A and B are shown apart, each in its own frame.
Chain A
Amino acid sequence: MTSTAVIQLFVFVLAGFVGFQAITRVPPLLHTPLMAATNAISGISLVASIVLAGANQSVLSTVLGTIAVGCAMANVVGGFLITDRMLAMFDKAKAAKQEERASARVH
């Protein structure tokens, strides 16, 4: 095993641990946004796809890379938009409530 591979293994295990810690704290209320969010950030495969699409190695690589860029980009754009849409709803629900409280105080 090369030393790079060992470092990568470190990164993997530690990131998995951090991820586990962060995600177990997400309340059930936000589990669907969480799924949409991880879906959005999984679009990070864009960084690998971009290199493949732009490296001009062969027709095959370029075609595969371009399709991969399209797929990953769809996840990034769609994922972040829908997550934001959902979280905005939770904002709205809260905002409506605060308004209600404020008006109750006035009366």
Chain B
Amino acid sequence: MIDIVIQLSYLLASVLFIFALRSLSRPDTARRGMQLAAFGMLIAVAATLLHARIVTYEWILIGAAVGALIGYPLGMWVPMTAMPQRIAFSHAFGALAATLVGIGEYAHLYHEQSLTRGVMTALGFEVLLGALTVTGSLMAFGKLQELLPGRPITFPLQNYFNLALFALGVAGLVWVVLFPYDVWVFAAICAIGLIVGILIVMPIGGADMPVVVSLLNAYAGLAAVATGFALDNNVLIVVGALDGASGFILSVAMSKAMNRSFANVLFGAFGSAGGPDEAAASGASGDMTAIQVDDAALRLAFANRVIIVPGYGLAVAQAQHQARELVDLLEKRGVDVRFAIHPVAGRMPGHMNVLLAEAGISYDKLIDMEDINERFAGTDVALVVGANDVVNPAARTNKSSPIYGMPILNVSEATSVIVLKRGKGAGFSGVENDLFVAPKTSMLFGDAKQSLMQLGAEVKLA
């Protein structure tokens, strides 16, 4: 009887989770939907407490209290700019939970001498994928947080070595399915998973990290699915499948936005400091034209249409509020202002939308790349704030450029371009930008926050 209550609660929770994902298709229903999902989680947890195997509650309470204490700051105090590394960090938690459950369940069934091949297959997958996700996510976190060097770390025959090690892990998996009571082989699978996680993220540069974070999300989901198979628990299978689907869809979307294949991201070591031949091949020559704040402000104030292109420079400078103030001032003067959002602006998909929403910029002013690209031609001023690669025309014109083929914003079609940039260095991918030396482009050097503030002050005077 109680078991049926538990199962039905899981069913209800699964429905609520799916409903929540559906509600995320529109900004105005999303919040309510996610609150229902949280309610679903509460139902699932409450029902689980009735489980027949539970005989003591003190350790559950201690774990839950500690987890809540860790989770609260992760939810409330982490700044929106740090979202990518925060998500990576959380994946490590989720995957660690799955891995530990896998090990604990193995210990339990080993003790009872009731390991079957079916369960062993699931446990093996769970532990291998889980362990790989734990260290992979921690590596991604370290790189995004700049605790580890963001550049790719490579060594000769790296891919072969990684593949060989992964093959060894899979071989171990097959072995424990055939001989479930070989504890050392099971332990070896865990260890191999942990090492593989480190090795697959090591050669990936900071620019590609969001794809990896998203892919690790998918792996964590699959680890949860395996847990569900092992424990005969449908809600874990459902949620794991949702998680896996989301991770894969977002990874593919991001790879597409950067015009790179999955394999390319995983094995390419993109984002390395461009060698001398690359720099030469980019063909960026000529000088940048600097502009003073008052001139730039006048140009904006007397424009009819302005498109702002926010990039990571805006995010690191935390300049989203200054951007909104500038927009408000311009709109008061009757200037039509829109934001052009490249799919990978910021450090993860949709990251820029969140940052701008944080500053209270209405989301119907945020236009996706496909919809805004045709508008650049009729735009008086394109104001690029700390974006580099996503506006680099070399992606269209220069076949030898490492970002060739990447979809970009057509900023160069605007009548004039003002670029807010800290200095003269190259962007995240290490590629020089032809746009910055184009005759119609003026550079306003300085910190994005300072520059936007000064622009606002000057627009007020204009």
A83 to B104, CA, bound (A): 31
B236 touches A47 (CB 8 A): yes
Interface residues of A in 63-90 (CB under 8 A from B): 64-90
A residues in contact with B98, CB < 8 Å: 45, 48, 68
B104 touches A81 (CB 8 A): no
A8 to B71, CA, bound (A): 31
A65 — nearest CB in chain B belongs to which residue?
B104
B237 touches A97 (CB 8 A): no
A61 CB to closest chain B CB (Å) equals 5
B335 on the A face (CB < 8 A): no
A33 touches B67 (CB 8 A): no
A91 to B360, CA, bound (A): 9
A25 touches B22 (CB 8 A): yes
User: Binary interface profile of B, 86-120, with partner A (CB < 8 Å = 1, else 0)?
Assistant: 11001101101110110111011001000000100
The interface residues of chain B, by DSSP majority, are classed as: helix
B237 touches A40 (CB 8 A): no
B217 on the A face (CB < 8 A): yes
**Which of B142-150, B159-167, B198-206, B224-232 faces chain A?**
B224-232
B41 touches A81 (CB 8 A): no
B residues in contact with A52, CB < 8 Å: 100-101, 104-105, 108
B31 on the A face (CB < 8 A): yes
What number of residue pairs across chains A and B have CB atoms under 8 A from each other? 386
B residues in contact with A83, CB < 8 Å: 34
B57 on the A face (CB < 8 A): yes
The interface residues of chain A, by DSSP majority, are classed as: helix
A87 touches B349 (CB 8 A): no
Known: A54-B56, A64-B101, A78-B90. A71 touches B67 (CB 8 A): yes
Interface centre among B22, B72, B104 (most CB of A within 10 A): B104
A57 on the B face (CB < 8 A): yes
User: Binary interface profile of A, 20-62, with partner B (CB < 8 Å = 1, else 0)?
Assistant: 1011111111111111111111111111111111111110111
Chain B residues packing against A (C-beta within 8 Å)? 10, 13-14, 17-18, 20-22, 24-28, 30-31, 34-35, 37-38, 41, 44-45, 48-49, 51, 53-57, 59-60, 62-64, 66-68, 70-76, 78, 80, 83, 86-87, 90-91, 93-94, 96-98, 100-101, 103-105, 107-108, 111, 118, 213-214, 217, 220-221, 224-225, 227-229, 231-247, 249-250, 253, 341, 343, 348-351, 353-354, 356-358, 360-364, 366, 368
28 contacts between A and B (CB under 8 A): A4-B232, A11-B234, A12-B229, A12-B241, A28-B353, A30-B350, A34-B250, A38-B246, A40-B34, A40-B41, A44-B235, A45-B224, A48-B97, A48-B236, A50-B49, A51-B51, A54-B60, A55-B54, A57-B111, A71-B96, A73-B71, A77-B70, A78-B71, A83-B34, A86-B357, A87-B34, A94-B362, A94-B363
